[in-house]
Structure 1
Amino acid sequence: MQRSNLYIVIFSAILTIVLGGLLSGTSVVLKPLQDKQVELDTKKKILGAVMDISNIKDPKEILALYDKRVTSTVVDINGDLMEKDAKGNPLIAEKIDFQKNHNKFKKDVNARPYPVFMYMKEDGSGVDAYIFPMFGAGLWDWISGFIAVDSDLVTVRGVAFDHKSETPGLGARITDTKVRSRYEGKKLFDAGGVLQSVNMVKGEKGLPLDDHHIDGMSGATLTGKGVNAMLKDYFGFYGNFIEKTKAANQPVAEVVEPVEEVEAAE
């Protein structure tokens, strides 16, 4: 039976409203679950930069370990504490969108919040490692990383990289344990305190390199360049925080009062 144009328009409108409502409702219902999954994934990467968690399968155990060993803060480009954003909302390091803040056309590097995560010693006596989140551009799309640095803020403890669409078997190898382990023990600063970062060289030769270079990945030169740029940029952004923290951690030299000489009695 042929329907009038008005019937078709009304039917289409009702169908659109109903389906839109269902999709909207589904999104609202699923959002808390999605948020929890994002939280778990982020905390796994933070912990994964500083320790092996491959044998921990229970999400609750991951979250409990994170709560026990990790604290966080947010700083600005000057290395000073940031407690609120421009709208007055509290800043929580774990909830900062690294990708959104990376886009310099949306937020200038001088106005961005920079999360810092501290992996605490097991006895709670101090910081065992600092973990810095980073974001950059790979060959095809974004790359990201969490770089763990020893409490000296010079030596790399470990890294955890991620990517959206690097080439499997080539640039995608930045997530492989073998490639990630090459960063361990490398130095961010030279003996004079000048930032050198850690650079991946072109090609994969399997040769020992100096404190500021690691072996590359065959066929993935552009991905390697993207990782190099990401580390150099972000350690530059975190530079003031690092310098202030290193200065604050310097032991205070003990002042020894001069001993007055007592004239011997004749």
Structure 2
Amino acid sequence: MEEKSVNKTNTNSYTFIFAIVMVIVVGSVLAFAATSLQPMQYENMRIDKMQSILMTVGVVAQPDEAQELYEQYITEEIVLDSEGNEREGVDAFDVDLAKELKRSATEQNFPLYKANVDGEAYYIIPLRGAGLWNAIFGYISLQNDVNTIKGATFDHLGETPGLGAEITQEWFRERFAEEKIFDDTGNLVGVSVVKGNSSASKDDNKVDAISGATITGDGVSDMISERLQHYLPYFESETDVNVSNN
């Protein structure tokens, strides 16, 4: 009797081997793609960071001009320790606040950017804190009096669209312009995001909150005051402004 031929493509071993080969091929392709795209992703992050820093001092930069404008307006990048002293050998632009916040304050690096726009000097400070669902972050710039806010930018990793995610909107950022970070007695209080604050005063250390985003607003308030306090020693030693943190 003639033996029936076996179709090897229908065997379990063939299916198993084929699956392994496909996993290896697909994994290799994805790994190659990720590696190939890494330089582009890093460059996009650099450009986005430059744009955010420049935006706080009123300079709007398109991606293709961000580097040029950054070099034009950012006059100095420094890193401070918790006592306000400059740290050598640390690149301010490369400091990752997500990692820094996992360390004690005495061990952290505090980046500071100095800008000059149309003859006016500004200090730009990176921010990072916690929103409702994940991290929130941004930059805030101070005028030369180290008290008046020039501008601010905010972003997030997972806030609710239409609610907490609104911190990225221009109308919310504009509320911080000209606000003061010190109260009348010279204490650092930052700027509080307060629900129902309809006051037009720029001396009350408050801005109106986003409806339905109380926790995210509180996160913005907390990160501003928490981050700014670490720069007090530097401002006390390097400027003519008398500040305190009582």
TM bracket, shorter-chain basis:
0.7 to 0.9
Q: TM-score under structure 1 normalisation?
A: 0.79
* Letter of the 2:177 counterpart: E
Structure 1 residue aligned with 2:114, among 113, 118, 124? 118
Match of 1:254 in 2: none
Q: 1:153 aligned to 2:146?
A: yes
CA distance in 1, matches of 2:176, 2:198: 14
CA distance in 2, matches of 1:101, 1:10: 46
Describe how 1:178-217 pairs up with structure 2 within 5 A.
178-203=171-196, 205-209=197-201, 210-217=203-210
CA distance in 2, matches of 1:16, 1:23: 10
Describe how 1:49-88 pairs up with structure 2 within 5 A.
49-53=56-60, 56-57=61-62, 59-70=63-74, 71-84=76-89
Q: CA deviation at 1:49?
A: 1.0
* Letter of the 2:133 counterpart: W
CA distance in 2, matches of 1:241, 1:68: 24
| Aligned residues of 1:139 and 1:222 also touching (Cα < 8 A) | yes
CA distance in 2, matches of 1:178, 1:118: 25
Match of 1:262 in 2: none
Q: 1:225 aligned to 2:230?
A: no
Match of 1:16 in 2: 23
Q: TM-score under structure 2 normalisation?
A: 0.85
Task: Output one character per residue of 1:2-47: Cα deviation in whole Å (capped at 9) or x when no partner.
Answer: 3353x55544443333333222221221111001100010011001
Q: CA deviation at 1:164?
A: 2.0
CA distance in 1, matches of 2:109, 2:27: 36
| Aligned residues of 1:69 and 1:122 also touching (Cα < 8 A) | no
- Between stretches 156-165 and 176-185, larger displacement belongs to 176-185
- Between stretches 33-42 and 192-201, larger displacement belongs to 192-201
CA distance in 1, matches of 2:176, 2:22: 55
CA distance in 2, matches of 1:133, 1:225: 18
Distance 1:162 1:239, change over 3 A: same
Task: Output one character per residue of 1:122-162: Cα deviation in whole Å (capped at 9) or x when no partner.
Answer: 46xxx610110010111121111200000111111110111
Q: CA deviation at 1:242?
A: 2.2
Secondary structure of 1:226's match?
A: helix
CA distance in 2, matches of 1:46, 1:158: 10
| Aligned residues of 1:138 and 1:226 also touching (Cα < 8 A) | yes
Q: 1:244 aligned to 2:237?
A: yes
Distance 1:206 1:190, change over 3 A: closer
| Aligned residues of 1:200 and 1:213 also touching (Cα < 8 A) | yes
Which segments of 5 or more consecutive residues in structure 1 lack a partner in the other structure? 85-90, 251-266
| Aligned residues of 2:57 and 2:117 also touching (Cα < 8 A) | no
Match of 2:163 in 1: 170
Structure 2 residue aligned with 1:45, among 48, 52, 55? 52
Q: 1:29 aligned to 2:29?
A: no
Secondary structure of 1:168's match?
A: coil
Number of aligned residues:
232
CA distance in 2, matches of 1:150, 1:177: 20
Structure 2 residue aligned with 1:141, among 113, 122, 134? 134
| Aligned residues of 2:180 and 2:190 also touching (Cα < 8 A) | yes
CA distance in 1, matches of 2:106, 2:31: 37
Identity across matched positions, percent? 34
CA distance in 1, matches of 2:147, 2:77: 19
